[in-house]
Structures are given as structure tokens and as C-alpha cells.
Structure 1
Amino acid sequence: MGTYYQIKVVEPRDQLPKGAALQQKIDKLLRQVNLEMSTYLPNSELSLFNQFQSGEPKHISANLAKVMAASLQISEQSAGAFDVTVGPLVNLWGFGPEGRPNKRPDEQALKQARERIGYHHLALNGQLLSKDLASLYVDLSAIAKGHGVDRVAELIESEGFHNFMVDIGGELRLKGHNDKALSWRIAVEKPVVEQRAVQKIIAPGDNGVATSGDYRNYFEQDGIRYSHTINPKTGQPIANHIVSVTVIAATSMMADGYATALTVMGVDQALAFAEKHQLAIYIIDKQGDEFVEHLSSAFIPFIIQQ
């Protein structure tokens, strides 16, 4: 997944798992997630679907079907702000497995890429996935990492441990308490590149947490900064001044997907969406040289420290 992972398990010393053995199981599980959903592996299940040129339904694994169902749900709810078929645009702007050109694509290339996207071209019926556009390209990078976090959490629970934190590249799943017998405390990072600093401390409870931000993954050309988050409707990187969106949800997968959708929406629409769906979200946007915070009502109970 191109990032780190860290797992903390809290139990009495004589009941702790053997670290090397647990890590071996986790590594095997994450390799399986990649084999199912990576766009970087040409023989992954998802890559094979992307190469499939027929409109006939293709049988997919239960795990891939679960992530596809969640993706289509968020796409419908967000009116397309979240769209897993946006891959051609992500690649065109240089943020996919094909590498980064570090320059703005021309209008003709953008037009051609936009003709190849649209979640409405996908249909899921149980474990049968089909597309009515042969060139459709599905990219689950905005939700599969969260799913991987959930899978690791399920593995740890199946091993009999109930106090843990799973962190894959900043996407989290928490349960129980930390080594001080307190519910897990999580620091939301200040959205600046120059230093690592804490913006807010939260106690998310037994939930998943995901943060989407554009302050570390972007390129600049002619004084304009281009975010890695693409608006599927415009085909352009977002330009709504949101620098960070944190979502707390029952699973890391849903938090991951919603964080991307809300980043695309912009502050006002995102807050209205959060209130409608009772989502716990925390947005930071940049107004001039200042960072301004926006919280949904469902997020407030999770705050420990301003």
C-alpha cells in the first residue's frame, strides 16, 4: 500500500501475543488484500477486472464485493463526489501507478479521460460485478486501505485480543483501552508540511478513524498547487481550500471513503452531508494564512483537547 503500519496490543504481560508470529499473520493478510485490490499489481483481482473487456458479470471475491458495495453506496449518497472509476483522471494527473508527470494535462487528454469514468457504469449483484464500458478502470485506493485496517482488526480480535490500535498509513481502527487503561487517544495532525504538530486530540472509542488531506501529496506548476484528490465531476484537482478532513465511523473502510467524498464536496456541502447522515467529521480549511476548523455535531463528543 506504499506506507507503514503499526499495531499496538494491550494485555497483561503474560497474555501478550508473540510479536513475530502475529506480524507474520498480519503480513500474510495484507498481502492478500493487495492481491485482491491493488492497482499496482497487474495480476491482482481488481487489475484483472480492469483488464476484462466484456460487459458480462465477473465473479469476484467476497472481500472485493464488500468494498465495491461500500464504494457504490458512498457514491450514491454523495452524488458522485466519491467515484472509484476516477482512476484515469488520477493517473492522468500523475498520482497513480503510472508515475507523476508533474505538469498539467492538456484539455483534450482531460476530455478523453472524463469519457472513461462514471460509477454508474458499474453494477454489483452479490459477488457478480459488471461494467457497461469496456475501458472502465476501478481504483479503490480511497477505501481499500481502510478495509485493510478493518481486516487486521478482525484478525487481532480472532486471536482473542480486545484492546488494540491498528494504524495503516494514518487510517485507524481502535478497540478497548491503551496501556494506561484509558480509551485510546488520537492526535489529529496540524496540516502543515514543515513540522509534525498536534491540532486536536480525540478519543474515538471502538471505531475507525480516517483523515484525508492534500498537504503532503501534490505538485506545483507555474505557482499553482495541484492536489492529489480529483473531483470526478470536473476532472480537476480540488480547489476548495480544504486541507484536511477527519472522519470517525464504525469501520475504517467507511471512514476512509467518506473522508475522500467530503474533501471533494467542500466545507458547506460536507457539513450539511454530515448532519444529514449523522457523521462525525472534522474539517480544516485554509483561509488566507489561517487554518479554520469546522465540526459536525456528532464529532464534538469525541474531543478530548482543543
Structure 2
Amino acid sequence: MTLALAACKPDANVLKISGYTMGTTYNVVAIDKNRRVDDREARAKIDVALQRVNQQMSNWDNTSEISRFNAQTSVDSVALSPELMALMHAAEQVHQASEGRFDTTMGPLIELWGFGKDGGKRVPTDAQIAEALAHSGHGDTLIVGENTMQKKQPHTQVYLAAIAKGYGADQVGEALETLGITDYMVEIGGDLYASGANAEGLPWQIGIEKPAALSGGLIDVVGVSDMGMASSGDYRNYFEQNGRRFSHIIDPVTGRPITHRTASATVLAENGMLADAWATAMLTLGREKGLMIAEAQNLAVLFIERDTSSAELVFKPTASTRFTELTS
């Protein structure tokens, strides 16, 4: 997604703060109507919020709470922070509602296909996929309790990359609100939460990219206010072997990269955390099955498919009823 910024009114203090977190970039635009907050104060609040999220949920920090959980091999219950438990409860709910297509225990499969820390993208054997599947899956490897989490298998690993960025955007938003700022847009690695209005008094104008790494451009621009928004696509991280294309989006049920024509899924939700998780789930499901679940769950989703009947690169968008309602 790309941010389309309107021109700013001269009587508003528009704070624009960017940086790096969670292995990606973040961008914050906040409207200080009363001109009482300076950049340093806002950045300090943002830094504290992001540090807290990383200390709890970063898989790249060996000292984080989730990394410590992953490192221990006990199958006893482990008490975790309220924030991490809230995120895991949300992950569990999306996992169940998406028929297992959102799953934070896919580490063995991600590493097997070479999309993890070790790299080396490759096509594994059927036996290797079956072995990785046996060590993946919420129901088979993890118990999410009220205040504790428990491994069913000693080497279970929990990866939060597909939900933590959206959660981080929510937390930065809450930090800005402690400064009295209620009009803001927080984006982390393409996942965002937008509150109130931009400097023109309009919903934040967010562009939805065409799912093509080289051609670029936008499919649409939508107004977002008091909602999270996230897009997931298969068009940047992939490899080819023997004339076949293998996406980094792996179906937790089959253990293999997706093969359907859906190239991206964009989700609007009540917060960034849920938008982030559902975008991954919806892309994994694909337009046909995903739209059925979106309608049943009253989810706002825009699917973009490749039109394979055309000789040129053509995309076909399909919106759920709720997405149309929110963006009309």
C-alpha cells in the first residue's frame, strides 16, 4: 500500500516521523491541532511503544519474550505478558475462523522452503513436507490458554511476522493519543492504523498497489478512518524452478505455496492487528474460498486476481460486501 497525502492546512502542526523497526520501515503522520507537541516528544513516545512491542514479539531479537518461549523445550504452561497473550488469542481466533489458513506455528514449513532466516529457496520432497507439517499447526503443537501458553511438542516455534506489525501500528497510535493526538496514520511495513482525519479533514487516503513488482501503479485509493488496513501479496517474495513459480505464501494445510490466481488481498478491520492477520489468511485462501469466509464473517476484503485469459498482465478486483460498504 502507498499513502496518498493531501496538502496540509497552515494552521495545523503536521508531524511526520519515520524510522526502522521489526526489520522494516515505519511512517507516522500526525495532526497536532493545538500545536502543543513537537517532533522530539512524539518520537520519544513512538520509540517507547515500538521498543515494548519488539521486547515482547520480535522473532529477530533472541532476548524477546516470544524468542525466550521458542527457545525453551518444556511442554509445561508458560505465563506470558497480557499484551502477548492478547495477540495470541487474536491469532487463535483468526486461525479458527479462516479454517486454519492463518497459523503462527509454520516455522518448520517456512524454513523448509527457504523463506526463513537461513534462506536457500528450494523445492522440498513430499517426505520433507510431511515431516514439517507434523511439527506445524496450532492444534497439533500449541495450547493458547487464558494467561499461559503451552507447547505440545518441545521444538514448537511461534512466528509473529504476519500479525505483529499491525499490532505495532495500533500501539503507536495509542501512544500518540496519550499526547492528545487523535488524527494520525501509523504504517509499519505496509500495515497500518488510521485514526480521525488528515490535514484536509478527510479520511486518510490510502492507495492499494497493483500486485506487480515491476509495473507499479494503483488499483484504487480508499479513505480510511478509525480502522486498520493491511495488504498481503505473492508478487515480491518468490522463486522459480523448472519453469514453475513458488510463492512465499505457504498454505498451512497443504504445506505448499499457494497456486491460485489471487495475487493480493487487502483487509480493513477494527485494528491493525486483525487487518494484518486476516490479509495473510485471505491471500492464502484465495478469492473463491476467501470471499465465502469474508461474507460469513462480515469482513472487508478486496481480492485482486491475475486474469490468465489475457495475453497481457491484467488484474481483476473483487470486493466483499463489507469492503464495498466501507469504501463507497
TM-score of the superposed pair, with normalisation by structure 2:
0.88
**1:113 maps to which residue?**
132
1:122, distance to aligned residue in structure 2 (A): 1.7
Match of 2:322, SS state, is: coil
After alignment, is 88-97 or 231-240 more displaced?
A: 88-97
* Local SS of the residue matching 1:23: helix
Greater Cα shift, 42-51 or 19-28: 19-28
Q: 1:193 aligns with which of 213, 216, 219?
A: 213
> Superposed, which structure 2 residues align to 1:198-237 within 5 Å?
198-237=218-257
1:165-204 correspondence to structure 2 within 5 Å: 165-204=185-224
Counterpart check, 1:301 vs 2:317: no
Post-superposition offset of 1:62 = 1.0
Residue type of the partner of 2:123?
R
For residues 224 and 19 of structure 1, the distance between their equivalents in structure 2, rounded to whole angstroms, comes to: 49
Aligned partners of 1:95, 1:45: CA distance in 2, in Å?
23
Q: Provide the C-alpha distance between the structure 2 equivalents of 1:301 and 1:114, rounded to a whole number of angstroms.
A: 39
Which 5+ residue runs of structure 1 have no aligned equivalent?
A: none
For residue 291 of structure 1, what is the aligned residue in structure 2?
Answer: 315
1-structure distance, mates of 2:249, 2:233: 8
Listed as ranges, the gaps of 5+ residues in structure 2 are: 1-21
Deviation string for 1:64-86 (max 9, x for gaps)? 10110001111111121111111
Per the alignment, residue 121 of structure 2 pairs with 102
1:88 to 2:88 alignment: no
Q: 10, 28, 32: which is aligned to 1:11? A: 32
Aligned length: 302
Whether 1:156 and 2:176 are equivalent positions in the alignment is yes
Asked if 1:35 is matched to 2:55, the reply is: yes
Partner of 2:6: none
Q: Which moved more, 1:51-60 or 1:215-224?
A: 215-224
Q: Hey, what's the Cα distance between the residues in 2 that align with 1:16 and 1:173?
A: 23
1:287 shift after superposition: 2.1
Runs of 4+ in 1 over 3 A off after TM superposition: none
Query: Is this contact kept in 2: 1:210–1:259, CA < 8 A?
Result: yes
How far off its partner does 1:16 sit?
Answer: 4.9
Matched residues in 1 for 2:103 and 2:262: separation? 19
8 Å CA contact 1:9–1:16 kept in 2: the answer is no
Which moved further from structure 2: 215-224 or 205-214? 215-224
- Give the alignment partner of residue 149 of structure 2, picking from 129, 133, 139: 129
1:65 and 1:167 map into 2 onto residues whose CA distance is: 23
